[in-house]
Structure 1
Amino acid sequence: MLTSFTTGSVSRRSALRLAGFGALGTAGVASLPACGAGADDSAPAPVDVLIAQRDRADRDSNLANAAVATMPERGQALTSIAAERTAHRDALDTEIARAAGTYDDGSTPAANRGATTGSNATPVTPPNLDELRTRLTESARSASNLARTESGYRAGLLGSISACCTTQVGVLLR
């Protein structure tokens, strides 16, 4: 005669709960290796490519500010371009600082210090409108090309910079 191994009965609800918890547990255990440190996690993110973009944004801002003197009728658009490119420089500086990190003594790497701005900046010859358009188009292309090689926040930041520069050329400098 066959006998049951259990002394009580298992309700349908209990069986479904058990199956659900088993599935969740299996998924949780399977995802644990993804949380571990990979080979690339210990390597600092390279910032060299961002430094070039930061310097480009700084030069574009200085050129737009200098152009106000020779094109006062476009002063509002040029001031807006200079402010936006300064914001790009600041955002790139922030990402460079985050990626470069700090040394054990709390100091930061030289790449983290930012481009020369303000009263220490090299005097800029005011560009004409075509030169400024060309410069911003090159900046947009450079940021767009770099965005394709990056991922995550950096790709988004560089894509945003590219879109902004393209809009500046197409709308503000039209």
Structure 2
Amino acid sequence: MELPRASLPVIERRRALRLFAAAPAVAVLAACGTGSDEPDQLLPLATAAKADAALANAIARRHSGMSETARELAAARAAHASALQREIDRVASRDPEDPPSVPDPAPKKAPSSADAAADALRAAVREGQERAARLVPGLSGYRAGLVASVSASCACLQEVLG
């Protein structure tokens, strides 16, 4: 069955060309409008992950009895920092020549006793887990999954530390 010609919408050729010509400009404006002057929400998590890795490495150097566990924790937290850094940089579209958006932590000094060192590691991963867990509900998509996985990993590290 054919529809009568009068019922089909008619778009003039000039109007269609104007719409197609405006599409790239609208896309650029939409992309620029999504930026924010506020720091990325993941920045504190990445900074803390780097600091935790530095602390764990300092503890591994100072306390030989804890070195294997501390090095494993340092590797895990460094991986968290790296994944968070990549996501922050992906969203910010920064120049690769710029310094990292997540600053390197100040050198860490390990606590003098093994018990204090173990407590410091437990406190660091507990804080990392809690901070990430608090952030997850406000995120969406990939970012929510990434931060939830960091939180879950920190929870596992807490179990390893006892």
Q: TM-score, normalised by structure 2?
A: 0.70
Alignment partner, residue 72 of structure 2: 80
Q: For residue 74 of structure 1, report the CA deviation from its aligned partner.
A: 2.0
Cross-structure match for 2:45: 53
Correspondence for 2:90 among 98, 118, 121: 98
2:130 to 141, 147, 154: 141
Q: Provide the C-alpha distance between the structure 2 equivalents of 1:154 and 1:72, rounded to a whole number of angstroms.
A: 37
The corresponding residue for 2:17 is: none
Q: Which has the larger radius of gyration?
A: 1
Measure how far apart 1:137 and its partner are: 0.2
How far 1:110 moved relative to its partner? 6.5
Match for residue 115 of structure 1 among 103, 127, 140: 103
Superposed displacement of residue 162, structure 1:
0.6
TM-score, reference length from structure 1:
0.65
Q: For residues 52 and 165 of structure 1, what CA distance do their matches in structure 2 show?
A: 15
Distance 2:101 2:138 in 1: 24
Question: Is residue 152 of structure 1 aligned with residue 160 of structure 2?
Answer: no
Counterpart of 1:89?
A: 81
CA contact (8 A) 1:100 1:108 kept: no
Counterpart of 2:106 in 1: which secondary structure? coil
Counterparts of 1:168 and 1:126, CA distance in 2: 19
Matched-pair identity in %: 32
The code of the aligned residue for 2:63 comes to M
- Count of aligned pairs between the two proteins: 131
**How large is the RMSD of aligned CA atoms in angstroms?**
2.7
Q: Quick check: 1:163 aligned with 2:147?
A: no
Unaligned runs of 5+ in 1: 6-35
2:74 partner amino acid: A
Alignment CA distance shift 1:101-1:126 (3 Å) = same
Inter-CA distance 159–153: structure 2 relative to 1 (3 Å threshold): same
Deviation larger for 121-130 or 93-102: 121-130
Long gaps (5+) in structure 2: 2-25, 112-116
Contact 1:140 1:163 survives alignment (8 Å): yes
The 3 A distance-change label for structure 1 pair 134 and 76 is same
2:34 aligned residue:
43
Alpha-carbon distance, 1:115 to partner: 2.0
Query: 2:77 and 2:51 mapped to 1: Cα distance?
Result: 9
Shift, 1:69, TM fit? 2.8
- CA distance, structure 2, for counterparts of residue 63 and residue 94 of structure 1: 22
C-alpha contact (below 8 Å) 1:47/1:99 kept by paired residues = no
* 2:110 matched residue in structure 1: 126
